[in-house]
Amino acid sequence: MFEIIRQPWPWYVAGPLIGLTVPALLLLGNKSFGISSSLRHICASCFPANIPFFNYNWKKEIWNLFFVAGILIGGIIAAQFLQNPEEIKISTETANYLAEKGISDKGTLVPADLFTWQNLFTIKGLLLMVVGGFLVGFGTRYAGGCTSGHSITGIANLQWPSLVATICFMVGGFIMANLILPYILNL
């Protein structure tokens, strides 16, 4: 029964399901799909202060906190009970490229050679995890939303700024993957 859940779903099934989340949220509660604003809601609820950015009625957006909690709980359930026993298959070219950079392909989505607690305290790990995380957070705030908010909801609502943001996300991703990441992996 769980075999269909354990396997990766093709893009033509998963994509429309994610895409249908946008009109479902709009029709059921006039809500907008996005994740990055949830950190603001958490901070506003946990640290009531006179900081203008956090001084708003966060209870009106509590549905978003339940949505994020559901994502977290779903991830934990999937990691504990729905793991696919087969290793992740990546292209031979990618495996060879990673091997050249000293990253072994162990059939996982996240290379342990890069993302471990031990590597956090190296230059490479600090750049990838801490500086990278800060830049993602800063970029999300600067762009007025995350990739899911702009690329799924914003474009579906025909918002010009979301199209521009999505194009910038893609260009930034190409630059990072092809120009910056190879330099970091050689450190």
* Cβ neighbour number for residue 161 with a 10 Å cutoff: 12
Q: How far apart are CA 132 and CA 120, in angstroms?
A: 12
Grouping H, G, I as helix, E, B as strand and the rest as coil, residue 174 is helix
pLDDT band at 1 (very low <50, low <70, confident <90, very high): low
pLDDT given at position 69: 92
Question: What pLDDT is attached to residue 108?
Answer: 65
182: nearest Cα among 119, 128, 110: 128
pLDDT in tens, 97-122: 878 877 776 666 677 767 778 888 88
The reply to whether the predicted model has a pTM over 0.75 is no
Q: Where are the domains of the chain?
A: 1-86
Q: Is the pLDDT of residue 167 over 90?
A: yes
